[in-house]
Amino acid sequence: MALNERDPVTGRETTGHIWNGIKELDTPVPRGVLMFLVVTHIWAIGWWFLVPAWPLGSTYTKGLLGVDQRTTVEERVAEARRERASWTAKIETEPYEAVLADPELMETVRQTGNQLFGDNCAACHGRDGRGSAGYPNLTDDDWLWGGTPELIEETVRLGINSTHSGSRIGQMLAFGRDGILDRNQVTNVAAYVYSLSHADYSTDKTAEQIAAGREVFAANCAACHGDDAKGNQDLGAPNLTDDVWVYGGDMQSIVSTIHGGRQGHMPTWDERLTDGEIRTLSLYVHDLGTVQP
């Protein structure tokens, strides 16, 4: 063998090859590297014996531990269900009043409901349930469709203007756009509606317009919103006399509502959530509306 060049820094010989000035040393693979290589391989081969690893035609080596991810996950889901059974059974079967009367159980409802609400409802109603324009606030005690747990359950189960065959239907007609009322009538009835929640709006100057609006209201709106405009929870028609609004209570928004109509869409959760989850959420939302100011 030809004597190769020796590198002064490491004292190693080179391999004798040179590529555009690059040389290589003939250093052996360090012992530590080989040992580490062996350790990782032993670790790997150990796993092959313990768990499913190598295919054998139509089957595979099952491993000494006898584990399989499918059975593992089934067992663990069943175990988690058993652990929760103490309270889920109560929520699923006991009447709402009984659950509401049980402070410990309600604490569980608040915790579980918080996560369920965050994952399913917060996108529309906000993380805190306070809603935003077009999406009602669920934390006040003012309801379109009713605030008892039973009524909330129905809303959640069926949805509003949803694809469910039994969906709640809430239609605020497009009085202006569809030509049911003319422009004057729309502004008049808007003035009337506005005055219901803004007592100081009724002045001598506006009295005439409000009176005209009251007539339009009685003829066109009272059927749904009620003679006193306090709404009708069977139809999802909101109370127009308080200061709680889905679409906004300023004059401009009210005119738009009357002109173009409104149909809020709330999906049905009947098939997407379990009975227990729907009941938990109904209690949670009811609780939001009563506990918080």
Partner 1 sequence: MIRQLTGSERQLAAIMLGLVAVVGVAMAAAGRNDTMGVHGLIVMLFAGALMYPLFSAIGAPEPTEDREASYYDDPIKVGIVLSMIWAVFGMFMGVWVAAQLAWPGLAFDGAWSTFGRLRPTHTSGVIFGFGGNALIATAFHVVQRTSRARLAGQISPWFVLFGYNLFCVLAVSGYLMGVTQSKEYAEAEWYADLWLVVVWVTFFVLYLRTIARRKEPHIYVANWYFMAFIVVVAILHIVNNLALPISWGSAKSYTVWPGVQDAMVQWWYGHNAVAFFLTAGFLGMLYYYLPVRAQRPIFSYRLSILSFWGITFFYMWAGSHHLHYTALPHWVQTLGMTFSVMLLVPSWASAGNALLTLNGAWHRVRDDATLRFMTAAAIFYGLSTFEGSFLAIRPVNALSHYTDWTVGHVHAGALGWVALITFGSLYTLVPSLWKRERMYSATLVEVHFWLAIAGTLIYVFAMWNSGVIQGLMWRTYTGDGALAYSFVDSLVAMYPYYIARTIGGLLFLIGAIIGCYNMWMTVRAVPETVSRQGDLPVAATVPGE
- Enumerate binding residues for partner 1 (CB under 8 A): 7, 9-10, 14-15, 17-30, 33, 36-37, 40-41, 43-45, 47-48, 51-55, 60-61, 67-70, 73, 80, 83-84, 87, 108, 111-112, 114-119, 122-123, 127
Sites of contact with ligand HEC (CB under 6 A): 120-121, 123-125, 135-136, 138, 143-145, 152, 155-156, 160, 170-173, 175, 189, 193, 220-221, 223-225, 235-238, 240, 245-247, 254, 257-258, 262-267, 269, 281, 285
Alpha carbon distance 55, 63 (integer Å): 12
Q: Specify the residue for token string 């693979």.
A: 29
Choose among partner 1, ligand HEC, none what residue 201 binds, the Cβ cut-off being 5 to 8 Å by kind: none
Per-residue three-class SS string for 51-106: CCCCEECCEECCCCCCCCHHHHHHHHHHHHHHHHHHHHHHHHHCCHHHHHCCHHHH
CB of 39 to partner 1, least distance (A): 9
Identify whether the C-beta of residue 11 lies closer than 8 Å to the C-beta of residue 17.
no
CB of 240 to ligand HEC, least distance (A): 6
Identify whether the C-beta of residue 246 lies closer than 8 Å to the C-beta of residue 134.
yes
Helix boundaries (H) for 140-243: 149-158, 183-197, 204-220, 222-225
Choose among ligand HEC, partner 1, none what residue 239 binds, the Cβ cut-off being 5 to 8 Å by kind: none
| Residue closer to partner 1 (CB basis): 53 or 218 | 53
